[in-house]
Structure 1
Amino acid sequence: MRSNKKFQVTGPLDPIVAVLGGEAVLPCSLFPAVSAEDMELRWFRSKSLETVFAYQNRQEQKEEQMTPYAGRTSLVGNRLNQGYAAVRIQRVQASDNGLYTCFFRKGHFYEEAGLELKVAGVGSAPQVHITGPEEDGVRVVCTASGWFPKPQVQWRDLSGEKFLAFSEAHTQDAEGLFSVEAALLVRDSSVGNVTCSILNPVLGREKAMAIFIPEPFFPQASPWKVAFSVSLTVLVILLLGAGCYTKREHSIKMQVRGEKETLCETSEQDRQTKEEVLKDAVMLQVQLSQLYSLYPWLRDNLQAQPDEFFTWPVTLDPGSAHSDLVVSHEKTSVTLKASCVNTADTCSVLGFEGITSGRCYWEVEIRDGDQSGWALGVCGEGVNRKGWVALVNAGASHESGMYNCPSQRGKQRFFLSTVLSEITVTHRSPSPSELKIPGAPLELVRPYLVAPV
C-alpha cells in the first residue's frame, strides 16, 4: 500500500520506436534520484498485466516472466544506484507493439509509470504487373508483404499526379505482419508509366516500383462500340432537347392560362364597375330630379340666407296683450292663462319694435305646439285686431293686413324681407313655408302672436 510519498517514477513522454528484428529499451527513473538496487522492479503489459521482466532481491525473477519474452529481455542496471533502470528487449517482434508499465516498490511504498512502444517494419519492395485489359482500360496490380504496421499505398503517373480510384486489400500473417494488394484500372492509353509506392506511416520510409504500359495493351474500340457511343450521345442530346422543349411548352401553356385567367378577372371587374356606375347614374338622376323639384324653393331660399338678415329683437308689448295672456317680466315670453274661457275676443299680443324695410329675422320657441294652435306673423300698425280668430283660422290675407305662418313645436326662425312693394315672410323649420304678399304697402309692421282659441 502507499504511504507518504518518498519518490516518484517517471517514464519517457514520447513513444519509443523500435524496428522489427532490432532491440528496444524501456527506461524509467526515480525522483528524487535515490538508489533502486534494493527495490522490487517490474515491467509488464498495461492491458494484460503479464510480466515482461521482474527484478527482486538484486536478481532477475525469470519464473514470473511471460513466455514470449523469455530469453529476449535483460536489465540495464549499471545506473540503479542513481535511480535509473531500463529493460532491453531484443529481436523485437510485431507483438511487442503496445503499452507498458514500470513498477518500483520499496517496503510498503510503490509508484509506477506508463510507456508506449511503437514497432515498425519495412517489408518487401512492391511488385507491379499487368493482369490484362479490363472493360475499357488496362488493369495493373501492385503487391507487397512483411510490413508493420499497416502500410499506405499510392499510385502516381509519370508527372507525379495521384490516382485516387483504386482497390486495396490487406492481410496479416501469424507474426502480425501485413501484406497488401492494390489494383488500378488505367483507361488513358497515353499515360505511359504508372508507379506504385508503399509507405510505412511510423518510420516515414517508402518503397516504390514503376511499370510502363504500352499503348497496344489497351483494348481497341470496335465499330459497333463506336456506333453505340455515338448513338447513345445523340439519344441523350435528343432526350435533353425534348425535355427542354416540353418544359418550354408547359411554361408557355401555363403563361397563356394565367393570362386568360387575368383577362377573365379583369372583364368581371369591368362588368361589376359598369354595373356600379349605372347604379350611381340612376341614383344621381333621381337626386337630380328631386333637386329640380326643389329648385324654386332653393332659389328663393338661397336669396335669403341667414347671414343676409339681421337679428330683430322681439320684445312683447304688455299693453297690447289680451287679458287672458300673461307677459313675462322680461317681456320675452307669453303664456295663456289656464283659467281662461272661450270668448269672442282674440287673445293676441304685439311686439314693441316695428319694421319698415330691410331684411330681418327673429327666433320664437313654441312649447306644447302639438296641442295648441298659436299663430305667428306680422301685421300693420293700424290693423283692427278684433275678429282675428276667423282670419287666423282661415289663413292671413293681404286685405286684412295680417301675414302669418303656421307654428310648430320647438325653436323656429321667421325671416321678414320688405322689397319695394312686396313683403315676404319665410318660416324656417323642418318643412319650409313661405308667404308672399305682392303689392303690400310699405308701412310699419309689427310681429304678433295669437294664442290658441
Structure 2
Amino acid sequence: MEIVETPPPREIMCVFSYPLPLSLQLSHSHVLSTDGFLVIGPTDPIVAVLGRDTMLPCSLSPAMSAENMELRWFRSKFTEAVFIYQNQREQKEGQMPQYAGRTSLVKDFLTQGVAAVRIDKVRISNNGQYTCFFRKGGFFEKATLEVKVAGVGSAPEMRIEGPEEDGVRVACTASRWFPEPQVQWRDLSGEKFLAFSEAHAQDSDGLYRVEASLVVRDSSAGNVTCSILNPILGQEKVKAIFIPEPFFPQASPWKPAFAVSLIFLCLLILGAGYFLKQEHSAKVQARQKQETLQQAQEEDRQKTEEAQKARGKAGEGRGWVRAELVLRGKADSRSRALGCSLQEDPGPLPRAGGSGDPERAAWLWRLG
C-alpha cells in the first residue's frame, strides 16, 4: 500500500485590484509599493554648473529591470513633466516646453534598475526640486532630488575711488554670478576686513552683479585683495590692488598743521567776537553817559541864560536911578553957584527896571 503524504494546507490570499486615480495613487505610494519596489534618489543635492550638462539619476531597490516600466521626471506637479518614458520610448506629449530638445534618458543600466535623465546646457530655471516616478502595473514609487545650479562669473574689477573720512575708499565689482556670491576683503597678511558695504542686483538672465566698497584706514596696508566666492562650488576669483601711502589723508604732512591752525583760527574768531561785543557794549554805555551829560549841560545852560536875563533887567533899572541921582547932584551945585532954582521936578524917580516917562527923561537930559 502506497502512502502518500499530503502537504499541509497553505494560506491562500486573493487580492482584487482596481485602478485608482493618479492623485490618490501618489498620496498612497508607500502603501501600494510595499510588496513592489522602492525608488532611491541622491541623498545630497546635485550641483549643476551653468551652461554644462547634468544628470538626474534614480534607481530601484531591489534591483530589477525598468525597461518596461513608466518613468517620469517632473517638477513640483505631476503634470510639469521634464521627461517621460513609456512603452519603451520617450514621450514628447506632456513635456514642458523649456525642456523640449534638452533632455534624454541614459539607458546604459536600465536593465539593472538604474535610470538617469540628462539635461543639456543647464539654465538658472533648472534650479530647484525634481521628482522621479517609476510605475509598474499598479505599483509605483517616487523619490525627490534637488538640483543646485551654480555659475562662476567675471573676475572682480577694483578701483580707488579716493579719500574718505580718515582713509581711502576702494570699490570691487563683479557680474554674472549665481547664486548670490560672497565678497571677502583681505589685507597683505591675509587678515579679513569685516566692515564694508555690499550691494547685489540681478540682471535680466537672473545672474547676480555685486558691488562692494571698503574704506582702508591703515596707510601701511599696501595691497588690498577682493575675492568673489561661489558658495556652492567653493570657487573664487581674486583681484588685488596697491594703495600708495600718499593717497591716505593722514599721510599728508599738512593735515596736522591744518588741524592746529583751524583750531587756533576758531579760538581767535571766538576771542575777537567776544572782544568786539565787549567793546560795543562799552561804546554804547559811553554814548549813553555822554548823552546824559550833554542833556544836563543843556539844562544848566538854559537855566544860566534865564538867570542872566533876569539879572540884566534888574541892573538896567538900577542904572537909571544912579544916573538921575548924579544929575540931580550936579543941578544942585549949579543952582547954588548961580543963585537960581531949577524948575520943579517932574516926578518921582523911575522904578528899577524901567526908564519912566519921556518928559522925565528929557528933564534929566537937560540937567546933564
Q: Same fold (TM over 0.5)?
A: yes
- Which residue, out of 212, 223, 236, partners 1:182? 212
Q: 2:75 aligns with which of 37, 42, 45?
A: 45
- Cα shift at 1:227: 5.3
2:232 corresponds in structure 1 to 202
Q: In the alignment, residue 150 of structure 2 is paired with which amino acid?
A: A
- Residue 12 of structure 1 aligns to a residue whose secondary structure is coil
| Structure with more of its chain in strand, by fraction | 1
Q: Are 1:60 and 2:90 counterparts?
A: yes
5+ long unaligned stretches in structure 1? 233-453
Residue of structure 2 equivalent to 1:212: 242
1:14 Cα deviation (Å)? 1.4
**Larger RCO (CA under 8 A, 6+ residues apart):** 2
Give the alignment partner of residue 195 of structure 2, picking from 162, 165, 190.
Answer: 165
3-state SS of paired residue (2:228): strand
Matched, 1:191 2:225: no
1:316-327 matched pairs, under 5 angstroms = none
Task: Specify the alignment match of 2:148 in structure 1.
Answer: 118
Quick one: distance in 2 between partners of 1:58 and 1:229?
Answer: 89
- Alignment correspondent of 1:69: 99
Distance in 1 (alpha carbons) for counterparts of 2:182 and 2:264 = 41
Q: Residues of 1 paired with 2:169 and 2:193: CA distance?
A: 13
Q: Contact 1:47 / 1:99 at 8 angstroms: preserved in 2?
A: no
Q: Are residues 212 and 230 of structure 1, via their aligned partners in 2, closer, same or farther at CA, if it must alter by over 3 Å?
A: farther
Alignment of 1:235-274 (within 5 A): none
Is this contact kept in 1: 2:179–2:208, CA < 8 A? yes
Question: Hey, what does 1:275 align to over in structure 2?
Answer: none
Q: Secondary structure at the match of 2:93?
A: helix
Work out whether 1:95 is the aligned partner of 2:125.
yes
Report the AA paired with residue 77 of structure 1: K
| Cα distance in structure 2, aligned partners of 1:160 and 1:227 | 39
- Contact 2:152–2:176, Cα closer than 8 Å, also in 1: yes
- How many residue pairs match? The answer is 232
Q: 1:21 aligns to what SS in structure 2?
A: coil
TM-score by length of 1: 0.49
CA RMSD in angstroms comes to 2.2
Match of 2:116 in 1: 86
Give the structure 2 partner of residue 386 of structure 1: none
Q: 1:209: Cα distance to partner?
A: 0.6
* Correspondence for 1:32: 62
Q: TM-score, normalization: structure 2?
A: 0.59
Greater C-alpha Rg: 1
In 2, the alpha carbon distance for the partners of 1:214 and 1:24 equals: 47
* Per-residue Cα deviation, 1:89-128 (whole angstroms, up to 9, x for no partner): 1101122111110001112221100111122111111000
CA distance in 2, matches of 1:99, 1:227: 67
**Displacement of 1:222 after TM fit?**
6.1
In 2, distance between residues paired with 1:71 and 1:211? 46
Shift of 1:218: 2.1
Residues 133, 141 of structure 2: 8 Å contact kept: yes
**Structure 1 counterpart of 2:247, one-letter code:** F
From 254, 259, 282, the counterpart of 1:225: 259
Encode CA deviations 1:19-75: one digit per residue, 9 max, x unaligned. 111111111111122221111111011368621111111111112111221111100
Q: Distance in 1 between matches of 2:225 and 2:78?
A: 43
